[in-house]
Amino acid sequence: MSTTPDIGNENYSLDVNGRAVDIKDSWIGESLLYVLRERAGLPGAKGACEQGECGSCTVVIDGKAVCSCLVLAASAVGSKIVTVEGLGENGHLSDVQQAFLDCGGVQCGFCTPGFIVAVHHLLESNPNPSEHQIREALSGNICRCTGYGRILEAVQKVAVERKTK
């Protein structure tokens, strides 16, 4: 990405998936979503509404699931950021990722990374969610393809698997 001196030349460092990512010559107005995608080489978070309605850009910042389109990147300095790319270990799929595949929770896949992050976050804070709790916790993530049925099944599958482990 070319530099934009007339637009801005901010330099800072972000802690993403446990690694320091240096951001150079950026414009101060850039969202965390933009910086992750266009400057940090992490395109997993997706932009679909730019106003925090759809959850496609969900990442975890200091333990909270947030819409990265609503966060100024420069304001995330000093925070621990986890994106979908930081979830599996050594390139292996996480249990949530595997369950999405097994249950048919993926069609076009555009909402999928945001959902995967949100489901990990849900099951860490509530390992045994009821169907209502799953539906409410994930109601900030919009899926246009699946009608949510296969995603519900995937979340329930992981919850059961983790309990029996």
Partner 1 sequence: MNTTSTLSPPRHGTLGTSASRPDGVAKVQGGFAFSSDMWAENLLWGATLRSPHPHARILRIDTTAAWKISGVETVITAEDVPGKSTYGLIMQDQPVFARVGDTVRYAGEPIAAVAADHPETCKRALAAIRVEYEILEPVLDPERCIDGSAPSIHPEGNVFRHQRIVSGDPDVVGDVVVEGIYEVGMQDQAFLGLEAALAIPDPGGAGVELYIATQWLHEDRKQIAACLNLPEDKVRLVLGGVGGAFGAREDISLQVHTCLLALRTSRPVRIAYGREESFYGHVHRHPATIWMRHHASRDGRLVKVESRMVFDGGAYCSTSPAVLINAITHTQGPYRCENAVVDGWALRTNNPPCGAMRGFGVVQACFAHESQMDRLAAACGIDPVEIRLKNAMQTGDRLITGQVVDSVAPVAQCIRETASIPLPPDMGDEPDVLDLPGGSGRTADRRHIKRGVGWGVSIKNLMYSEGFDDYSTARCRIDDGVVTLKFATAEVGQGFVALAQQIARTVLGVDDVLLDTIDTQVGSAGSSSASRQTWMSGGAVDAACRAARDALLDAVAVEHGLVRSRLTIDGTDIVDSDGSFRVDVSQAARGKRIDETREYHHQETEDLDENGQGNCHVAFAFVAHRAVVDVDTELGLVKVVQVATAQDVGRVLNPTNCVGQVEGGIAQGLGLAVMEEIVVKDGRVRNPSFTDYLLPTFLDAPVVDMVFVEEFEPKSPLGAKGVGEPPCISVTPAIANAIRNATGRELPRVPVRPYDICL
Q: Are the C-beta atoms of residues 57 and 45 closer than 8 Å to each other?
A: yes
Instruction: Determine the Cα–Cα distance for residues 12 and 14; give it in Å rounded to an integer.
Output: 7
Q: How far is the CB of 70 from partner 1 (least distance, A)?
A: 12
Phi, psi of 50 (to 5 degrees): 55, 20
Radius of gyration of the chain (CA): 16
Strands of 58-61's sheet, edge to edge?
A: 19-26, 10-16, 80-82, 58-61, 64-67
Two tokens at 155?
């979340």
Q: How far is the CB of 78 from partner 1 (least distance, A)?
A: 24
Instruction: Determine the Cα–Cα distance for residues 112 and 141; give it in Å rounded to an integer.
Output: 9
Report how many residues bind partner 1 under the rule CB under 8 A. 62
Residues 66-125 contacting partner 1, CB under 8 A: 83-85, 88, 93, 97-98, 100-104, 106-113, 116
- The yes or no reply on residue 150 touching partner 1 (CB under 8 A) is yes
- The yes or no reply on residue 57 touching partner 1 (CB under 8 A) is no
Stretch that binds partner 1, among 2-10, 11-19, 70-78, 156-164 (CB under 8 A): 2-10
Residues at the site binding partner 1, with contacts judged by CB under 8 A: 1-2, 4, 6-7, 27, 29, 34, 37, 42-51, 53-54, 56, 83-85, 88, 93, 97-98, 100-104, 106-113, 116, 132, 134-136, 138-152
